[in-house]
Structure 1
Amino acid sequence: MLTEAQWTEAVALLPFLAHPDTAITRAFRHEAMLMRLPEGATIFSEGDACTSFSILLSGQVRVFKIGETGRELTLYRLARGESCILTASCLLSERQFPAIATVEQMVEAFVIPQTSFQGWIDTYPAWRAYIFQLIAQRLSTVMAVVDEIAFRRLDVRIAQFLLRGSDPLQATLSLTHQQIAVELGTSREVVSRILADFVDDRLVRVARGSVTILDRQALVERAEAS
């Protein structure tokens, strides 16, 4: 059962819990637990069984796949108020987790046991609507990843990635070529080659462990190239 302080946090996170007399509100308060995981912890490895469903209160989780060559592909990240659709899918289908989920920033999360998660979907319309909306939103994120990999040139994706991670007041990003490759699902060698082209075009300056944007407008134009 959640403490008074934890319950206050849960209501702020999930508005459908604001009505104290509803059945889902009572069930959530009595059956959910607050879990903490340190940075670097592995939540799921590929092939693990799913035994609970989590909603992040704070921190950040990365969900990714590793290919046969060892190349990583980030599917999505979870932050405050978000949940993992792969976990939901595994709980509903009773299948194993098909990816890897790790903690990037220390996590606090509300955890609902598998039996409660499944029973609430059958019983409480507010919970069912929340889960279905979650699945719809996160699927659009995954489809955007597929679209980028399948249909967008990698130089365009790298330009977009650098622009997303910076702002006009902070043009230097602390990133290695390998980190960029991992985020975009490609190889370090390909990233290095494209960054070298950006350097030749005076779009960026590359140093060990950092990339500095020199011509933001030109990089925007590269990011918008078809």
Structure 2
Amino acid sequence: MSMTHQYDLTDTFPFLATLNEAAIAQFRQRIGVASIPAGQHVCREGDICPQLAVVLSGSVRVYKVGETGREITLYRIGQQDSCILTASCILSQTRFPALAVVEQDVQVALIPAANLREWVAQHEVWRTYVFNLLSRRLAEVITTLDEVAFRRVDVRLAECLLTLTQQQAQATITHQQLASELGSAREVVSRILKDFEREGLIALTRGIITVQDRAGLQKRARA
């Protein structure tokens, strides 16, 4: 992880423009920027959260692993966004309950935990920022849980494939990666993909899925 303090704070936190220069200068002193390569875990289950990271570029996947080894993606963190689990752990001084891994090289603004607690207590704009972050991400997690609990895997898989192939007909992804994305077992995903292939909706090659009948796949996604 490489670290620097050279960046424009108000680009990342535009609400700070409402504060005086002394407050902005204090924030600028305490917040740093780091670059983290793809594939690196930034948090593991049980970790203490020493800082809140706000993504400036790139992508981070936050996920949970069950006792059987099955994974489910809780949410992704993209540009100008942050992790509600980290924020919650910092404010409640508890440990991280999931895992977070860099999917695409990221640059992040890092706010030390002690400073975040202090600023949330002292400044309404920071309280509003954190509470908005919590409410937005909580809605996403509830949607994910609702889908896993109440929607069929084949419907969710069809939707996932449509999303992955919005720009081009092919998606480079393994059956295990799809299973982790959907919170299902690889065997279940493989079986459904074979069904899709028999129906002429997709073509399967090693590590690549090609959508051949997008309209048909859309029909499955609406089932």
Q: TM-score range by the shorter chain?
A: over 0.9
Number of residue pairs matched by the alignment:
220
1:49-78 CA-partner distances (Å, limit 9, x unpaired): 111111111111111111111111111111
Matches within 5 A, 1:84-95: 84-95=83-94
The answer to whether the Cα contact below 8 Å between 1:32 and 1:113 also exists between their aligned partners in 2 is yes
Unaligned runs of 5+ in 2: none
Q: TM-score, normalised by structure 1?
A: 0.93
Deviation at 1:13, TM superposition (A): 2.4
Q: Are 1:128 and 2:131 an aligned pair?
A: no
Query: Which residue does the alignment assign to 1:220?
Result: 218
Partner amino acid, structure 2, of 1:44: C
Distance 2:62 2:88 in 1: 14
Distance 1:88 1:36 in 2: 20
The answer to whether the Cα contact below 8 Å between 1:59 and 1:106 also exists between their aligned partners in 2 is yes
Q: TM-score, normalised by structure 2?
A: 0.94
**Greater CA drift, 51-60 or 11-20:** 11-20
Deviation at 1:210, TM superposition (A): 0.9
Q: Are 1:207 and 2:205 an aligned pair?
A: yes
Distance 2:93 2:25 in 1: 26
Deviation at 1:14, TM superposition (A): 2.0
CA-based RMSD of the aligned residues comes to 1.5
Query: Which residue does the alignment assign to 1:144?
Result: 143
Distance 1:223 1:115, change over 3 A: same
Distance 1:135 1:187, change over 3 A: same
Deviation at 1:19, TM superposition (A): 4.2
Distance 1:123 1:221, change over 3 A: same
Distance 1:22 1:123 in 2: 16
Distance 1:128 1:171, change over 3 A: same
1:70 is paired with a residue whose SS is coil
1:18 is paired with a residue whose SS is helix
Matches within 5 A, 1:33-182: 33-167=32-166, 170-182=168-180
Q: Percent identity?
A: 46
Unaligned runs of 5+ in 1: none
Distance 1:54 1:188, change over 3 A: same
Deviation at 1:97, TM superposition (A): 0.5
Query: Which residue does the alignment assign to 2:14?
Result: 15
Distance 1:199 1:193 in 2: 10
Partner amino acid, structure 2, of 1:57: L
Distance 2:33 2:122 in 1: 23
The answer to whether the Cα contact below 8 Å between 1:157 and 1:223 also exists between their aligned partners in 2 is yes
